[in-house]
Structure 1
Amino acid sequence: MGVFADRLKIAMQQAGMSSAQLSKTTGIGRSSISQWLSSKYVAKHDKVATLAAALEVDGEWLLGTTDVQNVTESLPAEPVIEATPPVAPELVSIWEQLDEPRRAKLLKKANKLLEKAVEPTPKHKSKKKKKGKKRKA
């Protein structure tokens, strides 16, 4: 198992957090946390910082670059910034039931809806075609 996965598990145990609670606290998807815990991937820097703040551990420790675990206690507290706006529970429930290809389709549709909402609706001028017989010269 990877150092990041091991240390993430340790930090979660020490904080008494499940992956669902960590997801809710950080705004990071449960699937991402699951992939990190299984050593499939290592979190990117911004996510490591978010995880470290929520678990009250040092981000460098999570990544395995230092052995000092709780540096955050000596640092001044920073205001917590919510990563994402609140999402309707129905949307979260639907999202969690979808597999990756269907999630991609849903995101594509949602982006199209957003584009339509942002774009001004074009005004069409109707041009009437003249009907008539063509004259032969």
Structure 2
Amino acid sequence: MDDIFRTNLENAINESGLTNAEIARRIGVGRSTITQWLKGVSSPTQSKIVKIAVTLNKEPSWFFIDNTKKQRVINNLTDKQLTLAMSVDPDITDEQLQQAINYVRFMKEQEDKKNDTNGKN
């Protein structure tokens, strides 16, 4: 397995609050097996990846996505941006998301025009 898998596995374990021993018990391997996966000495089978994902509340594909860029973007969001992002329904369609973005931009433009007219800018 590559570094992305190992990094994501380590992050998921840390986020879960579970010990390696508890995760190992739940997926049916020894604790040393988890350590070997984290060190890149060995790799889990596809069926074990599914069990890991279920145990750690992730989709199996999540372990193979480079989340570092996404995390850097999240870390740079302002509190207002993060609040807005977290308030969006995860089932929103791409079209609905674009409409929401357009509406927020429209409202900001209206506020900016209002402030320009009132001499606040």
TM-score for the superposition, normalised by structure 1: 0.44
Q: Which structure dedicates a bigger proportion of its chain to helix? A: 2
Q: Which has the larger radius of gyration?
A: 1
Structure with more contact order per residue of length (Cα contacts < 8 Å, sep ≥ 6): 2
